[in-house]
Chain A
Amino acid sequence: MSWIDLFRKSKRNTAATAKERLQIIISHERTRQSQPDLISAMQTEILNIIAKYLDIPHEKINEQVKVDVERRGEHSVLELNITLPESIS
């Protein structure tokens, strides 16, 4: 601290911000670590169900069915995007 700091307004406490951000991300990553294959297992099952009811060629299933998990604030959103074959729609 030099003499000029004595006159300066106290700045935002960035260390406190760092701690808050770390608390959130670390707890999130710890829960994910304990169930790493959950999403991919669910994804496989969802794809199997879709393949059972819709006539989508096996090699195209990854193109026509998209499974995404997205974080929005406090929640995680599982997003399913299925492109239906023309014959159905």
Chain B
Amino acid sequence: MAEVIVVTSGKGGVGKTTSSAALGTGLALKGYKTVVVDFDVGLRNLDLIMGCERRVVYDLVNVVKEEASLNQALIKDKRLENLFVLPASQTRDKDALDKDGVARVIEELKTANFDYIICDSPAGIEKGALMALYFADRAIVVTNPEVSSVRDSDRILGILASKSKRAEEKLDPIREHLLVTRYAPNRVERGDMLALSDIEELLAIPLLGVIPESPAVLRASNSGVPVTFDQESDAGQAYLDAVDRFLGHKIPLRFVNTKKRTLLQRLFKSKDKEGVGA
């Protein structure tokens, strides 16, 4: 049975699209047929992060408005057989999405035998974001260790619990997962950044994973290759761990403590790897 997952945050720029692409890639790597749907109508970017921007012909709005078929709009990943992207429209605005239309697209994706339908939400709490979360079975709340992001995540949790289909129809609530991104253990140790335990305590939802602040993330978006493919990198490994936990496996957290360094290393710090330890 297909599951609908919304990747959301309220605040912009915390890593929703990066995480949607990375988790979608991870699920596909594990053998699940996965589609990542961009709900950011007017500001599409998932296509760039996934590296398929030149293959976009039709988009989500075309399918919602029945101007194109689902198969015409779905873009098959060149690296993985079972990974697909459904891009957002770049020219329309968010009002182009309506509940009935989106419901039909999601039903069609379920009929097409997808295991996971990942909805990459736009920032904010307006129509596009509400459409992205409305049909969700599970939610991944992406949070940075920073005050405005934590507050907005809490706001989104309230909306998940009141404005989703599951809430309106009084079904089992959406399963919520916390994904902390851009975490810098060395700054936490100095008292300059909220610790993981603080964020967990404030938001009180189960932790799915911690993605360290990492140069690999920018390198990945530069080249249009989701960071999960870079399995040498800390961020790539952290996303794969998160995918394993999402699938129900118990995996210990990595990259949440600073590496113990020798006196010489402390005196001549290496800028590149600072603070990100296994």
Question: Shortest distance in angstroms between A18's beta carbon and chain B's nearest beta carbon?
Answer: 5
> Chain B binding site: helix, strand, loop or mixed by DSSP?
helix
Give the complex CA separation of A57 and B254 in angstroms: 68
Pick the residue among A3, A14, A18 that contacts B267 (CB under 8 A): A3
Contacts of A41 in B (CB 8 A): none
Q: A18-B147, A22-B202, A26-B154 are in contact. Are A1 and B269 (CB under 8 A)?
A: yes
Pick the residue among B146, B154, B186, B192 that contacts A29 (CB under 8 A): B154
> Chain A binding site: helix, strand, loop or mixed by DSSP?
helix
Contacts of A26 in B (CB 8 A): 150-151, 154, 202
* Contact digits for A1-24, partner B, Cβ 8 Å, 1 yes 0 no: 111001000011111101101110
Question: Shortest distance in angstroms between A38's beta carbon and chain B's nearest beta carbon?
Answer: 16
Pick the residue among A12, A19, A25, A33 that contacts B198 (CB under 8 A): A19
Chain B interface, number of residues (Cβ within 8 angstroms):
21
Contact between B193 and A15, CB atoms less than 8 A apart: yes
Pick the residue among B151, B190, B267 that contacts A25 (CB under 8 A): B151
Residue B123 CB within 8 A of the other chain = no
Contact between B188 and A15, CB atoms less than 8 A apart: yes
Residue A30 CB within 8 A of the other chain = yes
Chain A interface, number of residues (Cβ within 8 angstroms):
20
Contact between B193 and A3, CB atoms less than 8 A apart: no
Which residues of chain B from 150 to 201 have any CB-CB distance to chain A below 8 Å in the complex?
A: 150-151, 154-155, 158, 162, 186, 188, 190-195, 198
Residue B266 CB within 8 A of the other chain = yes
* Contact digits for A49-70, partner B, Cβ 8 Å, 1 yes 0 no: 0000000000000000000000
Chain A residue, CB-CB nearest to B274: A1
Q: A1-B266, A3-B266, A22-B202 are in contact. Are A16 and B154 (CB under 8 A)?
A: no
Closest 5 CB pairs of A and B: A13-B191, A19-B198, A33-B158, A26-B154, A3-B267
Residues on B close to A: CB < 8 A?
Answer: 146-147, 150-151, 154-155, 158, 162, 186, 188, 190-195, 198, 202, 266-267, 269
